[in-house]
Structure 1
Amino acid sequence: MNKQELVDAVAAKTGTSKALAAETLDALIGTIMATVTKGDAVQLIGFGAFSTGERAARVGRNPATGAEINIPAAKTVKFSAGKAFKDAVNGA
């Protein structure tokens, strides 16, 4: 499902216009991104939690030449699925 299909599904489920559903979805995504970017976690009970993580600097290899390359430390985004979401996926 792509974003437009999600907008269509939300509009159909809520009985609102596609424009309002798209605006609401954009606001939700923007708010989650802004909050996680600041370093705070976003927890949606039953769905999951978005947070940041740290990836340490490490040495990797160029697969074409075999030469060692330094990979710098980086921040990453983590998502942990909630119990209800996991249960739904597993058919419980």
Structure 2
Amino acid sequence: MTRSDLVNLLAARFGQLTHRDAEFAVKTMLDTMTEALGRGHRIEIRGFGSFAVNRRPPRMGRNPRSGEPVVIPEKLVPHFKPGKALREAVDRTAAASTPTPASASGEKA
């Protein structure tokens, strides 16, 4: 699902929202989350998951073209950890849509 798919889905599901309002809501939410992570805060959405910032320490790498060592600086990267409800929902949905080995080969059980 893309950002525009999400905007279209929200506008369709909630008739009182115009497409422009749905787009503004999605943009505001994502911008607010980005700013919070940028300040080092943790975001937790119950039943969905949590976002945090992980630190990748500086390390020595290698230039693949020349082979010479290169210092790779420290990085702060966003990390998402899905919540239990999300993991279970994805597992149920995937299990329901995945054919069983017997039905995949065309055999009858």
TM-score (norm. length: structure 2): 0.78
Moved over 4 A (4+): none
Runs of 5+ consecutive residues of structure 1 not aligned to the other structure: none
* Paired residue total: 92
1:19 and 2:46 correspond: no
CA distance in 2, matches of 1:90, 1:83: 11
CA distance in 2, matches of 1:36, 1:80: 14
Q: In the alignment, residue 21 of structure 1 is paired with which amino acid?
A: A
Q: Of Structure 1 and Structure 2, which has the larger fraction of its residues in strand?
A: 1
Match in the other structure for 1:7:
7
Shift, 1:71, TM fit? 0.3
Give SS of 1:90's match: helix
For CA contacts below 8 A with separation 6 or more, give which structure has more relative contact order. 1
Q: In the alignment, residue 44 of structure 1 is paired with which amino acid?
A: I
Q: In the alignment, residue 8 of structure 1 is paired with which amino acid?
A: N
Shift, 1:9, TM fit? 0.6
Alignment of 1:65-84 (within 5 A): 65-84=66-85
TM-score (norm. length: structure 1): 0.91
Asked which structure has the greater CA Rg, the reply is: 2
Runs of 5+ consecutive residues of structure 2 not aligned to the other structure: 94-109
Shift, 1:79, TM fit? 0.9
